[in-house]
Amino acid sequence: MNIILNFILYFLIFAIIHSALATNYIKSKAQRFLGEKYRFYRIIYTLISIPAFAPAFLVWIKYSGSTAPVYSIPDWAYLLIITVRALALGIFVYASFQTDILSFTGLKQTHEKPILVTSGAYGIVRHPLYASGILLLITKMEMSQLDLIAVLLVSIYLIIGAYMEERRLLSIFGDEYRKYREQVSMFIPVKLVRKLLSKSE
C-alpha cells in the first residue's frame, strides 16, 4: 500500500479511537463500569491514545524522507524559522506547566475543583498548547509529501479538538469562559495585539 495512504489509514484509526473515548457516551459507560475507579479514566485514555497513535507516528518518522520533497527552507530564512520554533516551544512548555500536564494526562490524580487559567500563555491565546504545537508543525525546516499530509491532518485534528474543548469549558465555567473568550483570541493573538496597539496610541 502507498506510504501516504498507509499513514492516512493509521491516523484515521487513531482519530476515531481518540475522539470516541472523549465522547460523553463512552465516558458515561466507563463511569458505570469503573465505579469509584473512574477517577483513573484520564490515565486510561492517555494509555490507549499513545499506542493508537504509534503506527501513524512510526510510518511518518520512518518514511518521511522516502516521499517526494515539497520544499526546503532557504538559508536566508533559517534564523527566522529557528526563532519562531524556539518561541513556539517556549510557549508550549510554559502552557504545560500552567495547566499541570501530569494532571491533564492523568499521571497525577487530583480532586481539586477545576480552575480557569487566563493568565500567562493563556492570556496570549485560549489554546496555547494547540497553537504552539501547530506552529511547530508548519515551520518544519524541510517538508516532504508525507510530512505535508501529516502536518495537515494533525493540525486539522488539533483545531477540531480545540473547538470540542471550548464546548466542554463552556459547560464547566459558563459565563466566566464566555467573558474570557471575548477578551482572548483562540489561536492567533489578534485581540492581544489590538489591545497593545490601543494602549500605545
Q: Both 58 and 88 in a single domain?
A: no
> How far apart (Å, rounded) are the C-alpha atoms in residues 161 and 153?
12
> How far apart (Å, rounded) are the C-alpha atoms in residues 120 and 131?
14
Other beta carbons less than 10 A from residue 184's beta carbon: 19
Q: Both 60 and 74 in a single domain?
A: no
Q: Are 73 and 66 in contact (CB under 8 A)?
A: no
Last residue of a domain, one of 35, 65, 95: 65
Q: Both 80 and 24 in a single domain?
A: no
Q: Are 126 and 85 in contact (CB under 8 A)?
A: no
Q: Are 161 and 131 in contact (CB under 8 A)?
A: no
Number of independent structural domains in the chain = 2
Q: Both 145 and 118 in a single domain?
A: yes
Q: Both 96 and 176 in a single domain?
A: yes
- Confidence at 173, pLDDT banded by 50, 70, 90: very high
The pLDDT assigned to 40 comes to: 82
> How far apart (Å, rounded) are the C-alpha atoms in residues 94 and 117?
12
Q: Dump pLDDT digits (tens) for 9-30.
A: 999 999 999 999 988 899 899 9
Q: Both 20 and 103 in a single domain?
A: no
Q: Both 32 and 2 in a single domain?
A: yes
Query: Model-level pTM greater than 0.85?
Result: yes
> How far apart (Å, rounded) are the C-alpha atoms in residues 83 and 80?
5
For residue 71, give the CATH number of its domain: 1.20.120.1630
Q: Both 151 and 178 in a single domain?
A: yes
Q: Both 106 and 144 in a single domain?
A: yes
Q: Which of these ranges, 28-32, 89-93, 180-184, has the smallest mean pLDDT? A: 28-32
Tell me what the mean pLDDT of segment 165-178 comes to: 93
Q: Dump pLDDT digits (tens) for 146-163.
A: 999 999 999 999 999 999
For residues 2 and 198, the model is more confident at 2
Q: What is the 3-state secondary structure (H, E, C) of 73-135?
A: CCHHHHHHHHHHHHHHHHHHHHHHHHHCHHHHHCCCCCCCCCCCCCCHHHHCCCCHHHHHHHH
- Confidence at 105, pLDDT banded by 50, 70, 90: low
Q: Is the pLDDT of residue 99 over 90?
A: no
> How far apart (Å, rounded) are the C-alpha atoms in residues 105 and 47?
9
Q: Whole-number mean pLDDT of the chain?
A: 90
Domain extent, residue 25, equals 1-65
Last residue of a domain, one of 48, 65, 82: 65
> How far apart (Å, rounded) are the C-alpha atoms in residues 137 and 152?
9
Q: Dump pLDDT digits (tens) for 114-140.
A: 789 999 999 999 999 999 999 999 999
Q: Both 80 and 165 in a single domain?
A: yes
Last residue of a domain, one of 65, 100, 120: 65
The pLDDT assigned to 103 comes to: 60
Q: Is the pLDDT of residue 111 over 70?
A: no
